């Protein structure tokens, strides 16, 4: 579904991504793990069209999307739940969701989608009229996910969805990711919680200094000594 | 369109608006010439404050160069009238076009290179100054000695040529302010309005949701500066003289945004409320201290008021007053609060 080949990305002269290639098959959960500064967020932002890669190709469903502006990429069905939740604090929960449904692909079904999101996250429906800034951290993450779902993406890229959440809430978030995947959405998951994301992922890549240094199935990587030492502290 | 604008605005707010509008329509019958001139000024600042608020309040773009857009609009229609005899009723199209183009140019430069926040504000000041210096040295349009319009009688109602009594200017400005209010209401409830507020809140998040941030910001500066250009037409024909030093002055920009800041940035009615409150106060203060020879007392007063507002009510006075009158959450206050549009 998503195919990244030889992606190079620079911030000025600083290389952020170096010849990165990865594949997200239809309906899969693919994880990217790596330390801070390894280039995980840069990779997501490059795929989303928010950063322009210097070289390489990004294909979504066979069509080249590298260099497309982000609103076009979104409209093709690539959603993202950005790091740090990034909700709109002074808009109501309901308006936050509405902003997520204004792409051409989502407009017609906005009403039905909203009902679905409320069904999935009843807390959001209870708080529909509240300013989003008044929600708890966990609720804000639900809102960020719900808002992304409003555009009916076929692929969702999660950037650190459990960041700053309690272990119990983090479990909830991973549970949501799993449920979304079971409903047919492909997932690209960037997480600092390596154990949880690897056990969820069918395939995973280890990113170091902007390069893919290791890849394999989630289970393989979980058993890999280098991964265990570096990311799981074992 | 009308349904969209009325959606979520209960009777109470509509009645309040109708009362205010009736009072403003009837006002010229009851006030003397001096009070009328103050009201004209208040409406001028209400209108320009709304235009300015569209950028900062709706889309989060701080412009401190409103005077450039107004000044360009003023010079465009005044120049056409004076040099070619084109009536302002046609000239205003050039005014709006020139100002909108100037706004689009500044916006394109800024957003193309991702200049935001105070840097955008600095850019607008810089361009405002460029324009001032340019017009200052443009002898064809009078240069620093000013451009003067033929004054032919201050009575009557020659709308086509905008030659007439202050009462005519009052009603022209009242119509413009009302129209601007409706436009803002419509835009806020539109898809573009949602995009603007998303950008204002968090540009990056908006982009990640597929908002075309560049296009939406361009729309904000272009519409807002075009609207300011229209105010320039009235500015030119009401005063009958134009000087680059005053038309493009930074203080002119500040005067236009004060009402909106005091009333409430980002609110729909705040800029109108602020201008209607602040202008008469400032004029009254000038009149009261007239004999005392205190130059700059109005500016000093503005400074104190703004400092007090920023410290005590950073969101402006209107949200508080709207709440007290039970008019909040109805589209007179922040449309953000809830209220659904008929999308």
- Per-position b or e across A191-219, b if 16+ CB within 10 A of its CB: bebbbbbbebbbbbbbbbebbbebbbebe
Contacts of A92 in chain B (CB under 8 A): 336-338
Task: ipTM value, please give it.
Answer: 0.84
Interchain CB distance below 8 Å, A102 and B195: yes
Is residue B60 within 8 A of residue B200, CB to CB? The reply is yes
Mutation site for B-interface testing, chosen from A99, A110, A159 by largest number of B Cβ within 10 Å: A99
**pLDDT at position B334 over 60:** no
Q: Which residues of A touch B211 (CB under 8 A)?
A: 71, 99, 102
| Lowest-pLDDT choice from B43-52, B156-165, B209-218, B256-265 | B156-165
Helices (H), B150-295: 166-189, 191-201, 203-208, 213-239, 244-247, 250-263, 270-288
How far B337 CA lies from chain A's nearest CA (Å)?
Answer: 6
For chain B, the structural domain boundaries read 2-20+38-337
Per-residue pLDDT 10s for chain A (234 aa) are 999 999 999 998 888 999 999 999 999 999 998 888 888 999 999 999 999 999 999 999 999 999 899 999 999 999 999 887 789 998 999 999 999 998 888 888 888 999 999 999 999 999 999 999 999 988 999 999 999 999 999 999 999 988 888 889 899 999 999 999 999 999 999 988 888 889 899 999 999 889 998 898 888 888 888 888 887 776
pLDDT confidence of residue B2: 57
A90–B205 CB contact, under 8 Å:
no
Q: Does B196 lie at the interface with A, CB-CB under 8 angstroms?
A: no
Chain A nearest-CA residue for B199: A88
Q: Sorting pLDDT into bands at 50, 70 and 90, what band is B16?
A: confident
Domains of chain A: 1-77+154-164+185-234 (3.40.50.300), 86-153 (no CATH)
Give the distance from residue A148's alpha carbon to the nearest chain B alpha carbon, in angstroms.
Answer: 7
The CA distance from A111 to A107, in Å, is 8
Calpha distance A133→B129 (Å, rounded):
39
- Tell me the per-residue pLDDT of B104-156, one tens digit each, with 9 for 90 and over: 999 999 999 988 889 999 999 999 999 999 999 998 988 888 899 887 666 77
Q: Which pLDDT belongs to residue B85? A: 87
Interface test with A, best of B8, B200, B209 (most A CBs within 10 A): B209
Distance CA A100, CA B280 (A): 44
With a cut of 70, say whether residue B7 has pLDDT above it.
Answer: no
- Is B2-20+38-337 assigned to CATH 1.10.10? no
pLDDT of residue B336: 40
How many CB contacts within 8 angstroms connect chain A with chain B? 76
Q: What percent of chain B has pLDDT over 70?
A: 91
Residue B28: enclosing H or E segment and its boundaries?
A: helix B11-30
Residue B53 distance to chain A (closest CA, Å): 17
State which H helix or E strand residue A69 sits in: none
Burial of A42 (0-12, 13-18, 19+ CB in 10 A): buried
Give pTM, 2 decimals: 0.86
The answer to whether the Cβ–Cβ distance between B195 and A69 falls below 8 Å is no
Question: Is B336 near chain A, with CB under 8 Å?
Answer: yes
């Amino acid at each position: 579904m998503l195919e990244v080949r030889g992606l190079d990305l620079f911030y000025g002269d600083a290389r952020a991504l170096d010849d990165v290639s990865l594949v997200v098959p239809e309906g899969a959960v693919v994880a990217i793990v790596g330390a801070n500064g390894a280039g995980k967020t840069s990779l997501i932002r490059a795929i989303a069209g928010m950063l322009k890669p210097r070289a390489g190709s990004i294909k979504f469903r066979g069509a080249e999307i590298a260099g497309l502006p982000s609103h076009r990429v979104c409209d093709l069905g690539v959603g993202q739940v950005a790091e740090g939740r990034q909700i709109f604090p002074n808009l109501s929960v309901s308006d936050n969701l509405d902003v997520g449904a204004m792409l051409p692909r989502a407009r017609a079904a906005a009403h039905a989608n909203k009902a679905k999101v409320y069904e999935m996250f009843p807390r959001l429906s209870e708080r529909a009229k509240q300013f989003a800034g008044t929600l708890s951290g966990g609720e804000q993450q639900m809102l960020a996910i719900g808002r992304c779902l409003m555009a009916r993406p076929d692929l969702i890229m999660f950037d650190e969805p459990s960041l700053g959440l309690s272990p119990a809430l983090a479990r909830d978030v991973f549970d949501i990711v799993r449920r979304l995947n079971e409903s047919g959405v492909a997932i690209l998951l960037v997480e600092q919680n390596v154990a949880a994301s690897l056990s969820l992922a069918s395939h995973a890549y280890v990113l170091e200094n902007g390069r893919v240094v290791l890849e394999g199935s989630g289970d393989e990587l979980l058993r890999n000594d280098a991964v265990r030492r570096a990311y799981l502290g074992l | 369109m009308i349904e969209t604008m009325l959606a979520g605005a209960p009777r109470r707010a509509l009645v309040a608006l109708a009362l205010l509008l009736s009072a403003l329509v009837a006002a010229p019958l009851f006030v003397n010439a001096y009070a009328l001139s103050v009201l004209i000024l208040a409406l001028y600042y209400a209108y320009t404050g709304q235009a300015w608020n569209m950028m900062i309040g709706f889309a989060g773009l701080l412009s401190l160069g409103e005077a450039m857009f107004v000044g360009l609009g003023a010079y465009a229609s005044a120049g056409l009238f004076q040099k070619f005899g084109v009536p302002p009723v046609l000239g205003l199209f050039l005014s709006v076009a020139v100002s909108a183009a100037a706004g689009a140019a500044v916006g394109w430069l800024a957003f193309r290179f991702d200049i935001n926040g105070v840097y955008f504000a600095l850019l607008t000041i810089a361009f405002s100054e460029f324009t001032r210096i340019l017009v200052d040295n443009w002898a064809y349009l009078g240069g620093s000695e000013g451009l003067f319009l033929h004054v032919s009688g201050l009575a009557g109602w020659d709308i086509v040529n905008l030659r007439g009594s202050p009462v005519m200017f009052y009603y022209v400005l009242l119509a413009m302010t009302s129209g601007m209010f409706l436009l803002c209401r419509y835009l806020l409830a539109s898809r573009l309005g949602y995009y603007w507020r998303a950008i204002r809140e968090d540009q990056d998040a908006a982009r990640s949701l597929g908002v075309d941030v560049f296009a939406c910001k361009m729309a904000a500066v272009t519409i807002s500066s075009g609207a300011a250009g229209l105010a320039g037409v009235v500015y030119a024909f009401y005063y009958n003289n134009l000087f680059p030093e005053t038309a493009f002055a930074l203080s002119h920009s500040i005067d236009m945004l004060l009402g909106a800041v005091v009333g409430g940035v980002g609110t729909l009615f705040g800029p109108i409320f602020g201008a209607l409150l602040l202008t008469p106060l400032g004029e009254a203060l000038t009149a009261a201290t007239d004999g005392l020879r205190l130059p700059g007392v109005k500016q000093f007063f503005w400074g104190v008021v703004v400092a007090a507002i920023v410290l005590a009510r950073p969101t402006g006075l209107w949200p508080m007053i709207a709440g007290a009158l039970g008019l909040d959450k109805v589209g007179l206050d922040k449309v953000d609060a809830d209220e659904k549009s008929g999308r």
